[in-house]
Amino acid sequence: MSQSNFYAMLSRMKYINRWGLMNNTRYENISEHSQQVAVLAHCLVLIHNKRFGGSLNPERAALLAVFHDATEIITGDMPTPVKYANRDIRDIYKDIEDKASDRLTSMLPEDFRDEYSDILRQCGSGDEELRVFVKAADRFSALIKCIDEMRMGNDEFKKAKETIEQSIRDMKLPEAEVFEREFLPAFSLPLDEMS
């Protein structure tokens, strides 16, 4: 049996910082970001199931979220304004992400590859409905980062906050509206006010 480097490579997510073009008061890596996105995606699917009569799998959403940026171990974190500047760049970057996914998958034992290929590419059977919640969770995580930075007096994140808030509204996702109303305000509170 040969050695697999996949999980050791995943552990390097902690070395990839996000928000590279921004002046940060506290750096955020893709490992901690992915954990937060997993928690938020799980919550959004619970909202979907409990408040809107859905029957999706919140644990699967959390799993997809854990791996949603794993390819950035290889590609690095490309800033959103660059990644989505135009269709050509977006399509080229998608191809780069697919190649990074293939490279990561190739580090697995053969009998693990099919399952992880679907997870890394976010394209497993039945995952289509969950991807919208992972995307919303990813945006909420970015919004929470902006809130944190602005609480520390860093106005560099003001425009990003406005843009992300609008992108969440543009999703027209009732579950996101519930999260924004019921859960998001607490992220602006100091610890002493959270009891």
Other C-beta atoms closer than 10 Å to the C-beta of 177 total 14
Question: What does the pLDDT look like over 124-179, one tens digit per residue?
Answer: 778 999 999 999 999 999 999 999 999 999 999 999 999 999 999 999 999 999 99
Please tell me what DSSP assigns to residue 110. Answer: G
In this structure, what DSSP letter does residue 191 have?
Answer: G
Return mean pLDDT, the chain.
94
Cβ contact 179:44 at 8 Å? yes
DSSP 123: -
0.85 exceeded by the pTM?
Answer: yes
Q: What's the pLDDT at 125?
A: 77
pLDDT digits (tens, 9 = 90+) for 75-87: 988 877 777 788 9
Name the H helices within the chain.
6-10, 30-52, 58-67, 72-75, 80-83, 87-106, 113-121, 128-151, 158-170, 174-182
Count Cβ atoms within 10 A of the Cβ of residue 107 and give its class: 0-12 exposed, 13-18 middle, 19 or more buried.
middle
> What CATH number does domain 6-179 carry, 3.40.50.300, 1.10.3210.10, 3.40.50.10860, 1.10.10.60?
1.10.3210.10
Q: At what angle do helices 128-151 and 158-170 cross, to 10 degrees?
A: 150
pLDDT of res. 84: 79
Burial (0-12, 13-18, 19+ Cβ within 10 Å), 111: exposed
> For the chain, what are the domain ranges?
6-179
**DSSP code at position 1:** -
Classify the phi-psi angles of 118: left when phi > 0, otherwise alpha if psi is within -120 to 50, otherwise beta.
alpha
What digits encode the pLDDT tens for the residues 49-81? 999 999 999 999 999 999 999 999 999 888 777
Q: List the structure tokens of 163.
A: 């843009």
- What is the rounded CA–CA span in Å between residue 174 and residue 182? 12
